[in-house]
Amino acid sequence: MADIIRQVKMKDLQACTQVESLGFPEEEAASLDSIRSRIAAYPESFFVFERDGRVVGHIMGAVIDKLYIEDEMFSDISLHNRDFPIQAIFSVCVHPDFRRQGIAAQLIRHMVDACIARGKEAITLTCKKEKLAYYAKFGFQDHGIAGSVHGGAVWYNMVLEL
């Protein structure tokens, strides 16, 4: 079993879109067009987990200048600037057939290492209440309920200072 974490390529578009659609409710999942834009705009902060040549998970997000994610960041690629100090994570997603194998944890650690190497100050994400303890295992701190109303859900701001 050959596992690789690597930077996304445009050829991964269909696989990432499938993983995203299986991992999130329709109102929360990024669309094919959105994922295409993200691959083009910030491939350096979009990684895929490949097992035996098949993309089975990904982690992605823009680099932003605010500590918390705002809903417009999901769709407005112009808010990304690789020189900004804060890495946002918009999606950590693993195909259902490959869950509970530590893949998401490997992707998160990879993103953390990449951010440290690029000199980022922090990583920010939003998650639902049931995921707070999971992200806390990686050192993320709960900053309370987010202003985001993405997908009609209640989100919590989680921040990892680097």
Reply yes or no on whether the pLDDT at 95 is more than 90.
Answer: yes
Reply yes or no on whether the pLDDT at 1 is more than 70.
Answer: no
Reply yes or no on whether the pLDDT at 133 is more than 80.
Answer: yes
Element (H, E) at 50: strand 46-51
Q: Which residues contact 99 (CB under 8 A, 6 or more apart)?
A: none
Least confident of 56-65, 89-98, 136-145, 149-158: 149-158
What is the predicted pLDDT for the residue at 126? 96
| pTM of the predicted protein model | 0.95
The answer to whether the beta carbons of residues 64 and 24 sit under 8 Å apart is no
Element (H, E) at 20: helix 13-23
Reply yes or no on whether the pLDDT at 143 is more than 70.
Answer: yes
Reply yes or no on whether the pLDDT at 122 is more than 80.
Answer: yes
What is the predicted pLDDT for the residue at 41? 94
pLDDT tens for residues 58-90?
999 999 999 999 999 988 988 999 999 999 999
- Sequence ranges of the domains in the chain: 3-161
**How far apart are the C-alpha atoms of 70 and 114, rounded to whole Å?**
23
Q: Is the dihedral of CA 24, 127, 50, 97 positive or negative?
A: negative
Instruction: Please state, as a whole number, how many other Cβ atoms lie within 10 Å of the Cβ of residue 118.
Output: 15
Class of CATH domain 3-161: alpha beta
